[in-house]
A = this chain, B = another copy of it.
Amino acid sequence: MADTQGITGDQLKSYIERIEKLEEEKANLQADIREVYSEAKANGFDTKVMRQLVRLRKMDQQDRSEQEELLHVYKTAIGME
């Protein structure tokens, strides 16, 4: 690949191709994740609540309980509970 205004085509192309390969693997993983959710759905699970569960499990246990407690306090304060 010719040099163009100081840009080495080979080097640029190798970065682009490495990125494209990683993006492709990432897209495959995303498809696998969707696959697991649709399998769970087919078995009667609620995928929206499952996603909440996955999000909550990512949180530090203490942060999570503090946040849940504060949400309860706020709900009570504005009459939602």
Find out whether the CB atom of A15 lies under 8 angstroms from the CB atom of B40. yes
A53 CB → nearest B CB, Å: 6
**Interface residue tally of chain A, by bracket?**
35 or more
Please give me the residue from chain B that is nearest to A25 by CB atom.
B29
Query: Smallest CB-CB separation from A30: which chain B residue?
Result: B26
CB of A55 to closest CB in B, whole Å: 10
A77 x B19 contact (CB < 8 A): no
Give A residues with C-beta under 8 Å from B.
1-5, 7-9, 11-13, 15-16, 18-20, 22-23, 25-26, 29-30, 32-33, 36-37, 39-40, 43, 45-46, 48-50, 52-54, 56-57, 67, 70-71, 73-80
